[in-house]
Copies of this chain bind each other. A is one copy, B any other.
Amino acid sequence: MNDTATRDPELTRERILEAAHGLFIDKGFAAVTMREIAQRSNVTKSLIHHHFGGKEALWDAVKEQAFARYYLGQKEELDQAEKPGAELLMNGVIRYFEFLRDNPKVVRLFTWAHLEGDKSCSHLDSELVGLGAKRVRQAQEAGLLRADVNPTHVVTMFISVCTNWFESRDHHRDWPGMGSDDEFLNDFLKVFMEGLLPRSDRIAG
């Protein structure tokens, strides 16, 4: 079954995970069979059981790996400490939007996980959102953003818009008058950022 002459359990696990990842994200957990995963990863069905234990355990492993990668990437993004403010928030939104645009699979993974009530990633997400909200709060305290809105809500808003844009992309692509990714992001930033400015800036601007 293996192409390579030598045994490489690490590589085998990797190949299984990759095949399972692709199939689960395309068709959802229930619609994928172990036989498909075995065939795509050039491995025996029994070997998948040997390495991962079962279908559910494999799905958990796939999610765990994907969530971990997502978490590390976003954490790195957030840890680039700049002085908080409107510009930082805007750049954060842009980077998040572009991250989802370049990693469409992660959106589908989260969506599947939400639909089936998975909570295994909640604590990781909590931490990221907490970090983002902290930045917003700092900007509010510095008078750079309006202070009468909940920072967590602000983060949730932009995550929602970015996520839903790519989640429903195929669906609303042909809505009448719909623009490109960049055009939509631009319009969103116009509305969102100006809606977040503090009163004084709005009067001055």
CB distance from A178 to the nearest CB of B (A): 5
CB distance from A110 to the nearest CB of B (A): 8
- Known contacts A28-B115, A161-B157, A161-B160; decide if A150 and B179 are in contact (CB<8 Å): yes
Q: Report whether B192 and A178 are in contact in the complex, using a CB–CB cutoff of 8 Å.
A: no
Q: Is the CB of A154 within 8 A of B202?
A: no
User: Could you tell me which residues of chain A, from 170 to 205, have a CB within 8 Å of some CB in chain B?
Assistant: 170-172, 174-179, 183-184, 187-188, 190-196, 202-203, 205
Q: For this complex, into which size category does the number of interface residues on chain A fall? A: 35 or more
Partner of A152, one of B28, B133, B160, B176: B176
Copy number in the complex reads: 2
Q: Is the CB of A177 within 8 A of B195?
A: no
Let me know if B122 and A171 touch, CB within 8 A: yes
Among candidates B150, B170, B178, residue contacting A187 with C-beta atoms closer than 8 Å: B150
Given contacts A126-B174, A177-B151, A184-B156, contact A114 B168 (CB under 8 A): yes
Does A95 interact with chain B (Cβ within 8 Å)? no
Question: Does residue A67 face the partner (Cβ distance < 8 Å to B)?
Answer: no
CB distance from A136 to the nearest CB of B (A): 10
| Neighbouring B residues of A177 by C-beta, 8 Å | 130, 133, 150-152
A41 on the B face (CB < 8 A): no
CA distance A112 to B27 in the complex (A): 11
Residues of B within 8 A of A205 (CB): 202-203
Cβ–Cβ contact A114 & B175, under 8 A: no
